[in-house]
Amino acid sequence: MKRTRIAQLYADQTQFGGAHVTVAGWVRSIRDMKDIAFITLNDGSCFKNLQIVMDRTKLDNYSDVASQGVGASLIISGNVVLTPKRPQPLELHAQSITVAGTSGPDYPLQKQHQSREFLRTVQHLRPRTNLFRAVFRIRSVAAYAIHTFFQNRGFVYVNTPLITTSDAEGAGEMFQVTTLDLAHVPTLKDGSVDWSKDFFGKQARLTVSGQLQAENFAMAFGDVYTFGPTFRAEDSNTRRHAAEFWMIEPEMAFTDLAGEMQVSEDMLKFVIRTVLDKCPDEMAMLNRFVDKGLVGRLEHVANSAFARISYTDAIQVLQDAEAHGTKFEFHPQWGQELQTEHERYLAEKHFKKPTFVTDYPKKVKAFYMRQNNDGKTVAAADCLAPGLGEIIGGSQREERYDVLLARMKELHMNINEYQHYLDLRKYGTCKHAGFGLGFERLIMYLTGVDNIRDVIPHPREPGNAEF
């Protein structure tokens, strides 16, 4: 069977006028008018459905097909008829229809509109809904755009390990990887776990970030990026945290914080433009049903400069806002992490566009960030998106051996475990910087979908790892 994709029919409409084709897909609806029936078919190749016209006099199995339920799969041969005067530009007049797979009245996606909470309980079926077909095609196009952006600039794509023995962020939010028998854990004399008996001969965990290994490659290739899954055992049940999420982490030699911010801004704009360009039907649906201002906002962001403010100035802005009546749950105070409410105020209310906050206090940031001359802050930059808060975390890295070593000691890190990282500062060190973009946060931003559980195929969160 030579199967024509519905996407192709729409793309090359005039060539297909009068052509005999075979399409295959799933029933979205069937309207039976007794002697004629209309089937709305979707084959996944594009957002649009195809209208199939079925004539009782031309099909032996008319009644069988007309009685099929939503979700049934059909293989249909017929003639393409151009219908320029109707809302849809073409339809298929069926000559033969095979029912590949029936569906039933118990099929959970009968109704047009079902809540996203309900759809999370049918994760295996929800990709068939309009919302998820839009979100996951955009996710695919965004991934392609990210690779294109970096490849066009000569970056080398590196696959960093998922199982690791170092904690890249030093936050201790890692999942254990072990083959030890948990009912009989081998211990040392002092009662602690004897990791030498474990699979790797030491304690191993799932990575929270590929950055440290990406730095190894940046010192050889200059410009590199990772794009892969990362894991965090954060016990936070928010709409923007997942236990398994994907991250893009470029790392660039001979680059400072300003250079790093420019690359992240260029990258975000490139991805936005690509998605607007390649997914007009999906974006139109999201703009209509999910987030009314979505397309206009993205167009605007793609064409204007991001805001930049230092952490110290940002705290001032937030305190002024509080003094003028804005209510925050947490009082903004120098030295404290910015809370999501603070991040959102800055990006949404104050600047009304993506905003870089730079030069955070060193005590709220990771050990590898480059210390500024003031002795209090580090060369970090978080990019905050309106509606979301932090979407990118980046920094210039500490390239000075002695300064890095002193900082690691100050944080009581196990120096032996990180000697490889110190080595980079011993052999041909250079100014370098990089960032991490949370892929799901980006998809939330691009689609207007406000829950991370609905932009990742099978979400993993505290208490839930279904499928």
Quote the crossing angle between the two packed helices 130-152 and 280-289, to the nearest 10°: 130
Among ligand 4AD, Mg ion, none, residue 234 binds (CB under 5-8 Å by kind): ligand 4AD
351 to 370, contacts with ligand 4AD by CB under 6 A? none
Least distance in angstroms from the C-beta of 368 to ligand 4AD: 8
Burial pattern 116-143, b for ≥16 Cβ within 10 A else e, equals beebeeeeeebebbbbbbbbbbbbebbb
Q: Cβ closer to ligand 4AD: 68 or 209?
A: 209
- Between 60 and 337, name the residue whose CB sits nearer to Mg ion: 337
Taking each helix axis from N to C end, the angle separating 130-152 and 439-447, rounded to the nearest 10 degrees, works out to 120
Shortest distance in whole angstroms from residue 411 CB to ligand 4AD: 16
Does 332 engage in binding with ligand 4AD (CB under 6 A)? no
The token pair at 242 is 């997942």
CB of 114 to ligand 4AD, least distance (A): 25
> Of the candidates 394, 392, 364, 390, which has an alpha carbon nearest to the alpha carbon of residue 376?
364
Closest separation in Å from C-beta 340 to Mg ion: 12
Tokens of 347: 């990006």
Q: Report whether 378 contacts 364 (CB < 8 A).
A: no
Applying CB under 6 A, among 4, 45, 209, 255 the residue interacting with ligand 4AD is: 209
Among residues 360, 396, 171, the alpha carbon closest in space to that of 262 is found at 396
Instruction: Write the binding mask 430 to 459 for ligand 4AD: x where contact by CB under 6 A, - elsewhere.
Output: ----xxx-x-xx------------------
435 binds, among ligand 4AD, Mg ion, none (CB under 5 to 8 A by kind): ligand 4AD
- Interacting residue ranges for Mg ion, rule: CB under 5 A: 393
Picked from ligand 4AD, Mg ion, none, the partner binding residue 440 (CB below 5 to 8 A depending on kind) is ligand 4AD
Nearer CB in complex with Mg ion: 71/393: 393
* Neighbour-count burial for 417-438, b at 16+ CB within 10 Å, e otherwise: ebeebeebbeeebebbbbbbbb
Comparing CA positions, the residue from 41, 31, 39, 30 lying closest to residue 7 is: 41
For residue 311, state whether it binds ligand 4AD (rule: CB under 6 A): no
Nearest CB to Mg ion, comparing residues 198 and 390: 390
Mention every residue, 6+ apart, whose C-beta is less than 8 A from residue 423. Answer: none
Q: Which is nearer to ligand 4AD, 139 or 441 (CB)?
A: 441
Stretch that binds ligand 4AD, among 241-249, 266-274, 281-289, 319-327 (CB under 6 A): 241-249
Number of residues that bind ligand 4AD (CB under 6 A): 23
Q: Binding residue for ligand 4AD (CB under 6 A) from 27, 94, 177, 247?
A: 247
| Least distance between Mg ion and beta carbon 390 (Å) | 6
| CB closer to ligand 4AD, 78 vs 250 | 250
Q: Which does 116 bind (CB under 5 to 8 A by kind): Mg ion, ligand 4AD, none?
A: none
Q: Which does 436 bind (CB under 5 to 8 A by kind): Mg ion, ligand 4AD, none?
A: ligand 4AD
- How big is the CA angle at 25 (ends 83 and 37), to the nearest 5 degrees? 50
Residues 6+ apart with CB under 8 A from 90: 9, 10, 13, 16, 17, 50, 80, 81, 82, 83
CB of 171 to ligand 4AD, least distance (A): 8
Q: From Mg ion, ligand 4AD, none, which one binds at residue 314 (CB under 5 to 8 Å depending on kind)?
A: none
Please return the burial class of 233, using the count of CB atoms within 10 Å of its CB with bins 0-12, 13-18 and 19+.
Answer: middle
Output 91 or 440, the one with its CB closest to ligand 4AD: 440
* CA count, 13 A, side-chain hemisphere, 274: 19
Q: Which is nearer to ligand 4AD, 10 or 439 (CB)?
A: 439
The answer to the question of residue 169 lying near ligand 4AD (CB under 6 A) is yes
- For ligand 4AD, the closer of residues 65 and 338 by Cβ is 338
Give CA–CA dist 210/107, Å, rounded.
41
Letter string b/e over residues 342-362, b meaning 16 or more CB atoms within 10 A of that residue's CB: bbbbbbbebbebbbbbbbbbb
Rounded to an integer, what distance in angstroms lies between the CA atom of residue 54 and that of residue 30?
A: 10
**C-alpha to C-alpha distance for 180 and 158, rounded to whole angstroms:** 31
Q: Under 8 Å CB-to-CB from 160, ≥6 apart: which residues?
A: 207, 210, 213, 214, 226, 228, 249
Cβ atoms 257, 249 nearer than 8 A = no
Give the x-and-dash track for 380-399 against ligand 4AD (CB under 6 A).
Answer: ----------xxxxxx----
* For ligand 4AD, the closer CB: 97 or 425: 425
Residue (168 or 446) nearer to Mg ion, CB: 168
Binding region for ligand 4AD (CB under 6 A)? 168-169, 209, 211, 232, 234, 241-242, 245, 247, 249, 390-395, 434-436, 438, 440-441
